[in-house]
Structure formats: structure tokens, C-alpha cells
């Protein structure tokens, strides 16, 4: 594929991928997938049907893989991380279901979204089911510290989602407010997914915090790149529509920077299109042009790199190992998606 | 009020009310209300605004009062039941918010519903927040058995809600399927709210099960009467609209019995109105007439009485006390709402 060439940071350096980390936790991940299928079961058939649709729809299992990898990096020898990785995926899936209802999304990973296929009502309720089931699984595991970390993360996620609703269509949204949104709605679950790895391995507080920091900064980088990808032609390859955020008036960093750096005429363009949502043919192209002119997509990627560097640095407390290297490579992989 | 006369079961017998139970747990309930206000706080202002709207909108606090009363009946001397009663109310409020989105309700307890006032999106997300916050409070309490009971109840509630969606508009719904819906969507939380009272009091399994049975049967009776009230002129007094269930094609016991007992022409009437939702002027009145003809509202009340009797009988394991009497009276109060 032509894109592969772009992935190279230095001539000769191999593109980073998610595969090496997945390979290192492959056996555990298969157990997680079995847990997910078993535990989304309900006598009410529509629940596993709808949940299965979204869970099977080609997700990368990034978050549960992070739980598995973090637990192993922290030295966990048992199996507890398998069930907890399934919990993390259930929470993530529940938030996706509710997100798609809230965003009125038609597509998810290139397929019809659950709400488009089954309707909003069962999507809301099956999200609730997965969320509750996730807590049931945590109770089975029996660790109050894990329950504390994941219930706190869940509260923060919904706070972030509400904050995102409020900042939607507001061109005055600051970079700080935007970062607060993505820290809450995305990075908090990455942080929690990693942190519980240290908890099941009974590691000291410092290791918990190191893995939390790795997850948090990786999560921020991941979401920054996601927001860049919304304006990238690569979106089509990923089965998504280009410019969804623009059409919905979702104010992400590429727009925040373009608005701040723009002249009066440009600001009026942004107000008309993403604040008042009075859009016409050619607007998306003009938005691209303004982002290009002010370099805001590249600057967003640069910010993502900074957070990515923090994520990798957080792993310093752990001795070198192929697993640690693969976790560092995942950071590059998340950022290189942008190219 | 003219209705008061109807409340008398026997000449001279005083109408049962919820007030005597509330009076017995008044101090605890005030602490619960303070917990609720404190713990629904978030730096994202919209969350306490929206949550406050529904929590302040004149709810009876029936479920948290049941937790308080059950804990005291079981001999709990401490304060743990206060926080757990707030958890129960948060779970209930979260399900109400999601219910109103799913049902597209405009009114809740005679006031504009949160979704009508704030929109569906924040209602879904604030529901998620309250649900997560509820688990945070449970973790603070620190009892895994309580977490197990309430996470299980939450899963069952969402299963019941999905089952209700599936049976909506299906005139072939059996009485058993209907009972399964109300057992899950309503009675499971009543049962859990009561059961955790025995858990915090460290009572033996038998007492846990007694309080679970009290709550479960009370919950079933409560929902049966709610479904009768939807066809009652008293609805207007309660700030609700008469016949909402009929208009939405929600198949409750009064319709199930009328359909089963009806002739071909009557069954076709039900199919047209609540299955195909082809409704016209006079249909609601004709529905009343058919329910009257077959005595289905009275028979639904009679079923509620049977479950109510089971609820009262479940309290037998506890020694007589004013609190036990008040808990028995609440059963009558719930049923007498129908008159």
C-alpha cells in the first residue's frame, strides 16, 4: 500500500504496529474474547445480538490489550487480568453505544452502527446492560481498588462526554477545555485500563502511577490523532466518513488552532459553519485549506507526539523487555495512524 | 378530597399512607437527601442541574426509604445504610433518565421531563454519570456483597427494559412474559434495595432472603398498580396523562387480560390500536369500555393484592415493631393508590 511509505519516520526504520504487542499477549487475548462472548450472554436474545454486532465489528481491542500488557509488565502471573480486560472492553463498548446514540452516528468502523441497525432505544439499554455486567465481573474478581479505579473512570468518562456536548458548536472553546474533554472522555479509560494491571500484580503505588501515566498520555495522543484523522483521506480506508466532526460542528484542536490563528473573515467562516451549522458545498474543502494554511493538522500531530513521549517515558520504571518495547511501539503506532 | 373516601377498605379503617414509614426513618432520610445533593456534584455544571431537576421533582424516595427501613428492621445501628440508600436512588434516577429517552416522554411527575427540557443527549450521559457515581459510593462503603447485589440488579433492570421493548406492541404477549418484564425492570431494584439492609446489619441468609422477598413482591404489586393507574382518572391528579401506555402500545396486564377474554372483533380492535398503532378519536374510551366489561383493571388490582400479601408475609421472620407495621402498611399504600 502506498501509505506504508509514509509510516517510515527514518529511512529504513520499520513502521510501528500494534501487532507485536498483540502477539505478546495473544493467548490471554483469546481468553478475553471468550470471556466477552460468554459474559455478554442474556436470556434476552436481543442483548447478545446487539452487543455482538458492535463487539465483533472489527475493534482492535486496544484497551483490553493494554490491561493484559500492563498486568504482565507489572509481573502478574495469574489470570485475573483476563476478566478485568473484558470489563474494560464492556465499559468501552457501553460508551460507544451511548456515543453513537448521542452523535446520531450511522457508521461505526465502516459498518452500520448499532443504533442505525437496531434503533436508539435498545442501544441505550444494551449499553446499560454491558456497563452493569462489567461491574458484576469486577465484583467476581473481588478487588475493591480495581472497582474504585474503574467506577471513577466511568464517572469521568460521562463528565467528559457532557463537557463535549457543551463545548460543541462553540468556536470560543479553548485548547485547555478541549484537552479536558479528551482527557476525560478517552484518556481516563486508557489510564484505568493500564493502572489495574499494576493493582492485580500487587505492585507499589509508584508502578500504579507509572502505568496510569502511560495510559493517560497514550489516550490523549490517541484522541488527538483520531481528531486529525477525521480530516484525513485515510478515513475512507478505515471505513469512516471524512469531515464528520466538521459537519456536526465538533470543535477539535485542528479547528481551535485555525480559529485562533485566523483573521476576522476566517473566524466568521468558522462561526457560520461549525457554530451556526450553516454549511454549503465547498465549505469542507475551505476548512481543509484553512487548516493547511495555518498548519493546524500538523501541529495537532506534534502535540500528540509530546504526549506520546510522556507515555513512553512513564515506562522507565520498568526494566527493559520485549513487552515494554512493544508497549512503547504502540504509542508510535497510534501516532503514525495520522500519516 | 373526594378520593379519600375510596381509600377506606373497611368502614372506619384509616387509609394507609407512606408517611408513617417516612416518619420512622426521617432523620436518616434527611441524611440521604444531603448525600444525594453532595454526591451528584460535578465540575460540569450541567450534570447537577439536570440530575437535580429529576431528583428534586417530587419523587417519593420510596426505594431509599425501603433501604433505610430494611436496615433498621434488621438491626443495623450504624450509618452505612445512608450512603447505600443514596446509591439506590442514583440507580433509580439513572434508569428514569434513560427510560424517558427511550419512551420519548414529555412529562415526569407532572413536570417537563429532563429529556424534554435538556434534550436526549445529556439525559443519556447524566444517567451514565449517576450510575457510575452510584458504584463509586458503593466502593466507598466497601462491601463486595452489596456491590454484587446492586450490580446484579442493574443488569436485570436493563434486561427487563429490553424485554419490554420487544414485547411492546405485541398483543400475543403472555401474562408470564409481562410479569417477567415487571419483575426485572421494577421489582429487582425494590428487592435489592431491601436486601442490602440485611447485609449491612450482618444478618443471616434467611433474613436477607426475607427482605428480598418483601421488596420483590412489593415491587411487582407496585408496578401492577402503576399499570392500572395509567388508565385511571387519578393520573391527572398525579400530574400524568391518562392512557399513555395505550397510545404507545405498551402491553400491560389490563390489556393482556382484555385481549385474552375478548371476542374476534375485540381482538381486532386491540391489534389495530396497540399493535399497529392506528388510533383514532374514541379508541381510548372504547379501550376503557372493554377493560370495564371484562373487569381487567379490578383483576389486575387483585393480582397486586396477592403479591402484596406475599410481601407482608415475608416480614414474618422479624419480631413485631412499629417499623415492621409501617413496612406492611406501605404495601397497602401502594395498592390503594389504585382507588
**Inside any domain, residue A7:** no
Is there a contact between A136 and B159 if contact means CB atoms under 8 Å apart? no
A107 pLDDT band (50/70/90 cuts)?
low
How many angstroms from the chain centroid is the CA of residue A167?
Answer: 19
Tell me the pLDDT tens digit for each residue of A21-59. 999 999 999 999 999 999 999 988 899 998 888 887 667
Tell me the pLDDT tens digit for each residue of A248-297. 889 999 999 999 999 999 999 999 999 999 999 999 999 999 999 999 99
Is there a contact between B148 and A139 if contact means CB atoms under 8 Å apart? yes
Report whether pLDDT(A13) > 60.
no
**Inside any domain, residue B178:** yes
**Inside any domain, residue A6:** no
Indicate the number of domains in chain A.
1
pLDDT for residue A113: 74
Mean pLDDT of A227-248: 77
Q: Please state, in angstroms and as integers, the Cα–Cα distance from residue A196 to each residue in A209, A328, B95, B135, following that order.
A: 10, 18, 28, 17
DSSP for residue A257: H
Q: Among candidates A48, A192, A64, A44, which has minimal Cα distance to A130?
A: A48
**Inside any domain, residue B68:** yes
**Inside any domain, residue A74:** yes
Calculate the average pLDDT of chain A: 89
H, E, C per residue of B165-208: HHHCCCCCCCHHHHHHHHHHHHHHHHHHHHHHHHHHCCCCHHHH
From chain B, the residues in CB contact with A185 under 8 A are none
pLDDT for residue A200: 97
pLDDT for residue B236: 58
From chain B, the residues in CB contact with A138 under 8 A are 147, 151
Enclosing domain of residue A286: 17-336
Region of residue B222 (phi > 0: left; psi between -120 and 50: alpha; otherwise: beta): alpha
ipTM of the complex: 0.90
Partner-chain residue, chosen from A132, A142, A163, that has the shortest CB–CB distance to B151: A132
Tell me the pLDDT tens digit for each residue of A114-129. 777 777 889 999 999 9
Closest residue on chain B to A160 (Cα): B44
Is there a contact between B154 and A163 if contact means CB atoms under 8 Å apart? no
Q: B117 Cβ partners below 8 Å, 6+ apart?
A: B53
Is there a contact between B161 and A132 if contact means CB atoms under 8 Å apart? no
**Inside any domain, residue A322:** yes
CATH number of the structural domain spanning residue B71: 1.10.600.10
Partner-chain residue, chosen from B102, B139, B163, that has the shortest CB–CB distance to A151: B139
Closest residue on chain B to A128 (Cα): B158
Q: Among candidates B35, B191, B40, B220, which has minimal Cα distance to B114?
A: B40
State percent of chain A over pLDDT 90.
73
Q: A88 Cβ partners below 8 Å, 6+ apart?
A: A63, A64, A66, A67, A134, A150, A189, A192, A193, A196
pLDDT for residue B337: 81
**Inside any domain, residue B142:** yes
Mean pLDDT of A315-333: 96
Query: How big is chain A, counted in residues?
Result: 339
pLDDT for residue A204: 94
**Inside any domain, residue A11:** no
Mean pLDDT of A186-210: 97
Shortest distance between the Cα of B15 and any Cα of chain A, in A, equals: 38
Is there a contact between A151 and B166 if contact means CB atoms under 8 Å apart? no
Q: Among candidates B273, B193, B51, which has minimal Cα distance to B265?
A: B273
Q: B293 Cβ partners below 8 Å, 6+ apart?
A: none
pLDDT block averages, 10 residues each, chain B of length 339: 32 67 94 93 90 78 97 96 97 92 71 76 93 97 97 96 88 93 97 98 96 98 94 65 86 96 96 94 94 96 97 97 96 87
From chain A, the residues in CB contact with B128 under 8 A are 94-95, 98, 127, 131, 154, 157-158, 161
Report whether pLDDT(A5) > 60.
no
From chain A, the residues in CB contact with B94 under 8 A are 128
Amino acid at each position: 500500500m502506498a501509505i506504508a511509505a509514509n509510516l517510515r519516520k527514518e529511512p529504513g526504520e520499520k513502521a510501528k504496529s500494534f501487532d507485536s504487542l498483540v502477539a505478546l499477549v495473544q493467548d490471554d487475548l483469546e481468553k478475553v474474547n471468550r470471556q466477552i462472548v460468554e459474559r455478554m450472554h442474556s436470556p434476552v436474545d436481543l442483548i447478545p445480538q446487539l452487543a455482538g454486532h458492535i463487539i465483533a465489528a472489527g475493534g482492535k481491542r486496544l484497551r483490553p490489550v493494554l490491561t493484559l500488557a500492563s498486568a504482565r509488565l507489572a509481573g502478574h502471573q495469574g489470570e485475573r487480568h483476563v476478566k478485568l480486560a473484558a470489563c474494560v472492553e464492556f465499559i468501552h463498548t457501553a460508551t460507544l453505544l451511548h456515543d453513537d446514540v448521542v452523535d446520531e452516528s450511522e457508521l461505526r468502523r465502516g459498518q452500520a452502527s448499532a443504533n442505525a441497525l437496531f434503533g436508539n432505544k435498545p442501544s441505550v439499554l444494551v449499553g446499560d446492560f454491558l456497563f452493569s455486567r462489567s461491574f458484576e465481573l469486577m465484583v467476581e474478581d473481588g478487588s475493591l481498588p480495581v472497582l474504585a479505579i474503574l467506577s471513577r473512570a466511568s464517572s469521568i468518562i460521562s463528565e467528559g462526554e457532557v463537557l463535549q456536548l457543551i463545548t460543541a458548536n462553540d468556536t470560543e472553546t479553548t485548547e485547555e477545555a478541549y484537552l479536558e474533554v479528551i482527557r476525560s472522555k478517552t484518556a481516563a479509560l486508557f489510564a484505568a485500563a493500564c493502572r489495574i494491571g499494576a493493582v492485580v500484580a500487587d505492585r507499589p503505588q509508584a508502578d500504579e502511577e507509572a502505568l496510569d501515566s502511560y495510559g493517560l498520555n497514550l489516550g490523549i495522543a490517541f484522541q488527538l490523532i483520531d481528531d486529525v484523522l477525521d480530516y484525513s483521506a485515510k478515513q475512507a480506508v478505515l471505513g469512516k466518513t471524512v469531515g464528520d466532526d466538521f459537519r456536526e460542528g465538533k470543535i477539535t484542536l485542528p479547528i481551535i488552532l485555525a480559529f485562533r490563528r485566523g483573521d476576522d473573515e476566517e473566524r466568521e467562516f468558522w462561526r457560520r459553519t461549525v457554530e451556526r451549522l450553516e454549511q454549503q458545498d465547498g465549505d469542507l474543502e475551505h476548512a481543509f485549506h484553512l487548516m493547511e494554511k495555518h498548519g493546524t493538522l500538523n501541529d495537532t500531530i506534534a502535540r500528540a507526539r509530546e504526549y506520546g513521549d510522556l507515555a513512553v517515558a512513564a515506562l522507565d520504571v520498568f526494566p527493559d523487555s520485549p513487552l515494554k518495547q512493544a508497549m512503547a511501539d504502540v504509542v508510535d503506532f497510534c501516532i503514525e495512524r495520522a500519516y
